[in-house]
Amino acid sequence: MTEKQVLILCDQIQTGKTSAINESLPFLKPCMGFICPDIDGSRKMVDVQSMKIHDFQIKKPIYSGDVQIGKFTFLGAAFKMAQNILSSIPSNFTGYVIIDEVGKLELKGSGLEPVLSNFLKVSADKPYKIVLVVRDYLLDEVIAKYELKNIKILNPLNFKKHIQSNYITSE
């Protein structure tokens, strides 16, 4: 059995990684997971299955579980929601699982951890396809931490081309 390929959407900050996924959603059906777009100047979390938008970035911490990284503050409850989304993906799911994004917090064992590590470990024998969003300067660390082997690294433009060229309609 060949090892499952993981797509890594990788580029610099603010280069359209999340937008590339959002624009590709019609070709990523069925799809579960989450994206974190900037909406009206604030980062939100969108459950891609339901397309429900949730607050993610806040101006200052409100609860003890809120997370500050650099100049940004994020709702701890949003990370829990993202973890729950990952934990609820059925083992027989055959679509795409989007994880936007794997970053500094995860590398430090916070954010989506430990759910993300567990998810990536058990996903090897599952039928779904995984798309990870990673900033370019963290790519090597993410590959090493999660021991990712069979990967395809794509920038936003090549990601859209790849997804659209591999799209198969059921009609």
CATH number for 156: 3.40.50.300
Domain assignment present for 171: no
The pTM score is 0.93
Q: Note the pLDDT tens digit of each residue in 116-167.
A: 999 999 998 899 999 999 999 999 999 999 999 999 999 999 999 999 998 7
Give the per-residue pLDDT at 49: 96
Domain assignment present for 1: no
Separation of alpha carbons 163 and 99, rounded Å: 16
Residue 108 near residue 148 (C-beta atoms within 8 A): no
- Pairs from 76-83 (Cβ < 8 Å, separation ≥ 24): 78/45, 78/54, 79/105, 79/111, 79/112, 81/45, 81/47, 81/54, 82/34, 82/45, 82/112, 83/112, 83/115, 83/116
Give the per-residue pLDDT at 69: 86
Separation of alpha carbons 125 and 91, rounded Å: 9
Domain assignment present for 170: no
Domain that holds residue 15: 6-165
Structural domains of the chain, count: 1
Give the per-residue pLDDT at 167: 79
